[in-house]
């Protein structure tokens, strides 16, 4: 999915096992003229089925749900098949604690970011629009803090994934900097190139590695051992 255009109506599915939460988010989102809540689900199984039938752009996904949790549902929705058009919707994880270990697992499974359940209305609206457009939701500093915290406890593979070998030296360098939390302007300044050049490198890297977005690039960089938590590229 390349992301919804800003002029398009963003189709949304809300998955949470608490009816009050589903109704509350739906009521908030439906106040926006460019949003349409097309369905809700009380568990992961229902969420996957709703996405097959309703083709949303964005899913608000709780983690702890009966029958199938949000992590497994995210994994299925982010995969290449499972009856979904394109490569599936963008997924925003709903969580109570911003450093919940399950949030990291959800990002590994394919989520594009996370929101606290007590998020303000404006932050919720902004987040949905950002991920629907295919952009990075998490601020670089938040991405770095979250991924570093949990990658620190994960064992890196003995050998990097073969796909990393397809990257040019410059693309590998850009990937390291993205994973360390640098924004495109910061990377451009560090490498003495234009911001547009950085965007091109990031786009090509995502394509070569078969990744959905910048968040997945960060996860891949840490999981592969390309970047070690706590270190900085110079």
Domain presence at residue 23 = yes
Domain presence at residue 36 = yes
CA-CA distances (angstroms) from residue 187 to 142, 146, 167, 177, 232?
17, 20, 17, 7, 13
Task: Check whether residue 87 and residue 36 sit in a common domain.
Answer: yes
Task: Check whether residue 56 and residue 169 sit in a common domain.
Answer: no
Task: Check whether residue 122 and residue 156 sit in a common domain.
Answer: no
CATH number of the CATH domain containing 200: 1.10.10.10
Task: Check whether residue 133 and residue 154 sit in a common domain.
Answer: no
E strand or H helix at 169, and its extent? helix 169-179
Domain presence at residue 4 = no
Task: Check whether residue 52 and residue 164 sit in a common domain.
Answer: no
Q: Provide the CB-side half-sphere exposure for 189 (13 A, CA).
A: 5
Domain presence at residue 232 = no
List the one residue out of 60, 210, 82, 46 whose CA is nearest residue 132: 60
Residue at a domain's end among 86, 102, 137: 137
Count of other CB atoms within 10 angstroms of residue 176: 17
Q: What is the pLDDT of residues 135-168, one digit of tens each?
A: 767 665 666 666 666 666 666 555 667 788 999 9
pLDDT band at 172 (very low <50, low <70, confident <90, very high): very high
User: What is the distance, to the nearest Å, from the Cα of residue 157 to the centroid of all Cα atoms in its chain?
Assistant: 22
Domain presence at residue 5 = no
- Taking CB atoms within 8 Å and a gap of at least 24, the contacts of 190-194 are none
Q: In the prediction, which pLDDT does 180 show?
A: 81
Domain tally, the chain: 2
Q: What is the pLDDT of residues 38-88, one digit of tens each?
A: 999 999 999 999 999 999 999 999 999 999 999 999 999 987 655 444 567
Q: In the prediction, which pLDDT does 234 show?
A: 47
Residue at a domain's end among 102, 137, 172: 137
DSSP H helical ranges for 30-69: 44-54
Task: Check whether residue 121 and residue 159 sit in a common domain.
Answer: no
Task: Check whether residue 27 and residue 96 sit in a common domain.
Answer: yes
Exposure string of 85-122, with b = 16+ CB inside 10 Å and e = fewer, is: eebbbbbbbbbeeeebebbbbbbbbbbbbbbeeebeee
Q: In the prediction, which pLDDT does 181 show?
A: 77
E strand or H helix at 37, and its extent? strand 35-41
Burial class (CB in 10 A: 0-12, 13-18, 19+), 71: buried
Q: What is the pLDDT of residues 95-140, one digit of tens each?
A: 887 656 787 888 888 898 888 888 899 999 999 998 898 776 766 5
Q: Answer yes or no: are the C-beta atoms of 171 and 223 closer than 8 Å.
A: no
- Taking CB atoms within 8 Å and a gap of at least 24, the contacts of 78-81 are 78/109, 78/110, 78/111, 78/212, 79/110
Q: What is the pLDDT of residues 184-196, one digit of tens each?
A: 899 999 999 999 9
Residues spanned by the domain of 75: 10-137
Task: Check whether residue 132 and residue 218 sit in a common domain.
Answer: no
Q: In the prediction, which pLDDT does 155 show?
A: 61
Domain presence at residue 203 = yes
CA-CA distances (angstroms) from residue 161 to 14, 33, 104, 154?
34, 43, 20, 16
Task: Check whether residue 32 and residue 83 sit in a common domain.
Answer: yes
CATH number of the CATH domain containing 24: 3.40.50.2300
Stronger pLDDT, 211 or 55, i.e. the higher one: 55
Q: In the prediction, which pLDDT does 148 show?
A: 64
Residue 44 to residue 229: CA distance in whole angstroms: 32
Q: In the prediction, which pLDDT does 24 show?
A: 94
- Is pLDDT at 227 greater than 80 in this prediction? no
Residue at a domain's end among 137, 170, 186: 137
């Amino acid at each position: 999915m390349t992301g919804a255009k800003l002029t398009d109506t963003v189709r949304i599915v809300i998955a949470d096992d608490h009816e009050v939460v589903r109704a509350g988010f739906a009521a908030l989102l439906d106040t926006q003229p460019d949003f349409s809540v097309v369905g809700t689900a009380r568990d992961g199984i229902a969420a996957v089925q709703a996405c097959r039938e309703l083709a949303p752009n964005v899913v608000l996904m709780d983690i702890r749900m009966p029958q199938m949790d949000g992590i497994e549902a995210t994994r299925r929705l982010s995969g290449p098949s499972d009856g979904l058009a394109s490569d599936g919707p963008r997924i925003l994880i709903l969580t109570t604690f911003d450093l919940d270990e399950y949030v990291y697992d959800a990002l590994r499974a394919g989520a594009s970011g996370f929101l606290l359940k007590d998020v303000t209305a404006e932050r919720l609206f902004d987040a949905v629009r950002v991920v629907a457009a295919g952009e990075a939701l998490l601020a670089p500093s938040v991405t770095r803090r979250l991924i570093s915290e949990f990658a620190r406890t994960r064992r890196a593979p003995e050998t990097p994934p073969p796909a990393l070998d397809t990257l040019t030296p410059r693309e590998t360098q850009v990937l390291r900097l993205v994973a360390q939390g640098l924004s495109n302007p910061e990377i451009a300044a560090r490498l003495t190139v234009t911001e547009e050049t950085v965007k091109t490198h990031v786009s090509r890297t995502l394509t070569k590695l078969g990744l959905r977005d910048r968040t997945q690039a960060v996860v891949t960089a840490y999981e592969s051992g390309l970047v070690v938590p706590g270190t900085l590229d110079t």
